[in-house]
Chains A and B, each alone.
Chain A
């Protein structure tokens, strides 16, 4: 579904991604870990189409298309979803109107008619139950004054509404309390099918107890320096990153 080949990207003249290689197949869950500043969010943003980043090389194929050729909205309509590490607040735009506009533009792209108000509300109710999000939150302006955890939960709610093919969750677990973490993880698991895939960016093994990854990758200085199965995450939890960093730094030196 997603093939990233030697992807390089910079921001303001500074190289951040230095040749990423990654293949994600339908039904898989990939975890990406790595120290602060290693480029995890940059990778997620580049995949979602943020224009601040300059592509310096490589290619990304997504369901047979050249992903880097598509605008952010086209990517979203084709099923790419980024749950933001820091969801932005948008005063004056109601969450409901926003989601309705988004959902209907995605539907239109696939030749489906717009949802009428009743069907839309029904769908909202169903997905609200799935991620146990409160109606009161959704009647407010988008993310405005939401707590950190509420913002994260709203991201997963949007994901539930839009049912993406490829979900990239950037530290969705950070800032969640223990109950919220369980609820959000449950939501993600329930939305999992054989046809969609998930990339989880996280710092904590904790999340991976709930959402079990098929692969774990370590990103460091803009490269994936180690990949393994879920046991790699356990190893990292125990030993930290220094041992892999050393390996990587000696190789590249």
Chain B
């Protein structure tokens, strides 16, 4: 086995190959950013078990065990399989094994007030990209987002121009097929939602195959004045998938943003969600569900940064863990000295269905302002026996009663997804999973 340093050296070598493959796009600002990020990651290395933010989730080690970073430039065959979302009404972008599948993607009659394009085209065509790309990452850096910045070539750029409501949701559907070989995918997504505009995105992730699927994705959302964004992540990969997701949001005055993170499977999933509320009257909602079994490991780290007065954040994460699955929740709330009259709520509730399932949950509140309303709570337990008995005493079987209670528990989170077919699809998945 390699030591962490040796592994990081292979990352460095992989970058040399990657650079050589870039062919002409080396002169862009993006390439400077790549080099800076590579230098940062080579210096810091990947976070080990002693790293406070990664103590329960040794993602670096999992990566090292199954992914050779040199593979980064290898092009893997893209077999595009149908997904359950294909028939849902909306704009669609498909990515297979880290690459856009243009043949299946369909942006239909997208208004000229909305730009949806690849990262590569955005670098060429969007003159102001430089101001945005990587700017939120700067206030909330992470080793894996550096890695992403160094290597990401693919991704979606979205701009919704002033006072425009995207009429249908945009679906970004990723599938990794690892039946032939492992797959490495780096995605870099960026959304600029201009003043008074609205955007709904559903990002869904699937994987098949017995080799490791590794996805490192970074999303930055700029939610301008009075804009509104709902971004839902459906993490539905198989038991050989490693996923690290850094999602970062910057909100201006009167804006509202909802991030839904639903994880139903995978090998190891780490979500870092960061929301900066940088003006008054901003509203952030963070909802998460991890309903896992087998050996799945899911870690949600969230941070909301109240920088200015009169902002509101509301967070609800719920977990149901069976078998030997492992859940981690860490919720940070910062209320800066300026941020008087902040309202911040956080709740994390967990049900352990097996004696071998584990949850580590920790709220972290740092409050520097004095006139604020903050509350947080976390619970971990089993199903309520009184409730179970009540249902059974009416003739409902024990299994069905359990399923009803678990469904009700998870339903609180799913209820926040406003796109009807997606909500129904998830409800069905949850039912199947609970009743299996």
Contact = CB atoms under 8 A, between A and B. Distances in A.
A98 B389 contact: no
A106 B392 CA distance: 11
Interface in A72-96: 72-73, 75-77, 82, 84, 87-88, 90-93
Contacts of A87: 390
A7 to B, nearest CB: 19
Interface in B366-401: 384-387, 389-398, 400-401
Contact of A73 (B386, B387, B398, B405): B398
Interface stretch (B45-53, B61-69, B193-201, B406-414): B406-414
A50 B395 CA distance: 13
Nearest to A159: B394
Interface of A is mostly: helix
B405 A105 contact: no
B426 interface: no
A213 interface: no
A92 B393 contact: no
A87 B386 CA distance: 9
Given A50-B389, A84-B390, A101-B404, A92 B412 contact: yes
A124 to B, nearest CB: 15
A91 B404 CA distance: 11
Contacts of A102: 391, 394-396
A92 B398 contact: no
A190 interface: no
A141 to B, nearest CB: 8
A98 B400 CA distance: 10
A76 B398 contact: no
The interface size bin for chain B is: 20 to 34
Interface residues of A, number: 31
A101 B402 CA distance: 13
A105 B389 contact: no
B404 A73 contact: no
A11 to B, nearest CB: 13
Contacts of A92: 407-409, 411-412
A64 B404 CA distance: 32
In this complex, which of B386, B395, B396, B409 has the most chain A Cβ atoms within 10 angstroms of its Cβ?
B395
A49 interface: yes
Contact of A88 (B390, B408, B412): B390
Interface string A38-65: 0000000000111110000000000000
A106 B408 CA distance: 22
Contact of A72 (B386, B393, B408): B393
A90 B396 contact: no
Nearest to A93: B408
A106 B394 CA distance: 8
A44 to B, nearest CB: 10
B395 A77 contact: yes
Nearest to B415: A92
Contacts of B392: 49, 71-73, 76
B407 A101 contact: no
Contacts of B405: 90, 93
Contacts of A172: none
In this complex, which of A77, A90, A91, A141 has the most chain B Cβ atoms within 10 angstroms of its Cβ?
A90
Contacts of B390: 84, 87-88, 90
Contact of B391 (A82, A91, A98): A98
Given A101-B400, A101-B404, A90 B387 contact: yes
Given A88-B384, A99-B394, 9 more contacts: A49-B392, A72-B389, A73-B398, A90-B405, A91-B412, A93-B407, A93-B408, A98-B396, A109-B395
Query: Which 10 residue pairs of A and B lie closest in terms of their CB atoms, listed nearest first?
Result: A92-B408, A76-B395, A102-B394, A72-B392, A106-B395, A73-B392, A88-B386, A77-B395, A93-B408, A105-B395
Interface of A: 48-52, 71-73, 75-77, 82, 84, 87-88, 90-93, 97-99, 101-103, 105-106, 109, 141, 158, 162
11 contacts: A49-B393, A52-B385, A72-B393, A73-B392, A73-B393, A87-B390, A88-B386, A92-B409, A93-B405, A101-B404, A105-B395
